[in-house]
Structure 1
Amino acid sequence: MILAMKTRAARQVLLAGSILHLSFALQAQVVINEVDMDQVGTDNAEFLEIKNVGTSPFPLQYLQVVLINGNAGGAVEYLTIQNPAWPPLAPNDYFVICANEGLTLNCDHVAIPATNLIQNGSPDAIALRSNVDGTVWDMLSYGGAVPGYTEGSGTTAEDSNVDDGVSLSRWPDGMDTDNNDADFVIGCATPGLPNRLDPVNCVVTTSIDGIDEQPSLILLPMADAGRIGLLIRSGGPEPIEVAVFTTTGSLVASRHFGPTAMANWSISVAEGQLYVIQARRGHQHMVRRVLVP
């Protein structure tokens, strides 16, 4: 009996030591890198991007993404997203959780619900938490400060339901100063890719030093009755792929353009509908939404 008790105690000590070692090894290795929770019209293209800023693979199987409602000064968890089948995340790589795979590039995990997945703020918060011992590895408070879920002060940058293709973006990409307001700005929506600030196509709330002054891919949609006209400009040698989707994720049309400085494309569509346009050139991509009268 005494030997059995000692064996159980030794196992408990070993397990506790393993948990502590795991938490220490993974501490501060992943960050919330980008969030788009608010779109024009229905919020059905929401996504959250996680980045591994460490030097070794991060086992996402031990990660919980916790969404917090900060209404009326509270801090109430309203959704937890996790999956033991999530693969390890390589250093400097991204993991994207989305509401609609058809409307979000590079989506790695589709979460439920498909609309209004992430609350819009004033204030709300997101945390990355260990499902082993509850250690919080990163947190973002937006639209104000949520008690217990704010690093420094809550970000004053606000995602927009007026401007398309923008998101709350950590800037510079992956940089964490432990102050939400200093770390996040409004940038281009770039799920699964490095964060980007674009003064032509995206709203910018940062200093002039943070601006890419010569964007190499520009997509300008124009809508008329029953048609979408696209003007595409590119400053690089890679071919361009453009696709048009309905807001439910159905493909309407797609086209492959070779290396070109400028191209035009006109597409027949249904009237009175909102469409999502995605363009990709090499590692660059952008998303635009257009309402057809």
Structure 2
Amino acid sequence: MNYIITKSNGPPPNSIPVISNGLINITTSSQHSATDSIRGLPLNEPKIEGNSNSLCFLLSDPRKKLIFGSTTIQNFVAFAIRGRGDQPYPQWIQQFILRYTIDGINWLDINGGIHLSGNTDQNTIVTHVFEPPIRALAISFEVLTFSGHPSLRCELYITPIPASIDNIKQTSFLTLNSRHFTVLPEIQNLNSSGVSTSNNNSPNEILFYENTTRIHFGKEFSRIPNINLGITSIQNLPNTHNSKITIQPINITTKDFDIYIKTSIKINSIDIQYTANIN
């Protein structure tokens, strides 16, 4: 899934900062010293005496990576970053990559591993907003380039997942009849050789019928579900043979999807069962 990532002057309204509020577990691949630890990581944290006003990675660390992990799926809506706050240390992150995991095992690059822009000075806050929110168990941050030394302060923002969201398997049925189908105009009135038969009633005339119906889930899923479709019964007009029916789910979101049907026979009625679930 691709996300629209925009730079903003701040996070979306009603978003919750999870780093400064201690609402997320943080793991770092390294720290330059005991005084350059994640204690200095929160975006607006005042400098602690004897400590850096940032997290500073080891220069020798090939990953320079942070993992922000939750125990439940969260709605991540924005990430903000700035450089090291204390003087005289002009240090900041220039470019970085974000990844996410839904199951804690498989990690996915956000937008194919897009390089996100960081800072050009120590104190300006750069905020990236995600649309739609990234629903994930954890987010990882990895440094690509930096100025001076790989140091940063940052904040990760969430919004509550709506109470209506449900990851339980959902099953329902759909019945369509002949009036729901339309003839495909681009291939109607063609015989088996592809020759137009518009002015006659050739017995070899091939007509295809199609239907697209939008299905809305009873409750929204936390992420895009898997859809299984099955035909439970079908009644077609007599004198049909060698029939072909294609049925598939398309345009799947967390809230709804389309059932697409293409058939070579004119159907009186068809009953379809769908099952949606997250593995």
- Could you say which TM-score interval applies, normalised by the shorter chain? under 0.3
TM-score by length of 2: 0.24
Greater RCO (Cα-Cα under 8 Å, separation 6 or more): 2
* Structure number having the greater strand percentage: 2
* Structure number having the greater helix percentage: 1
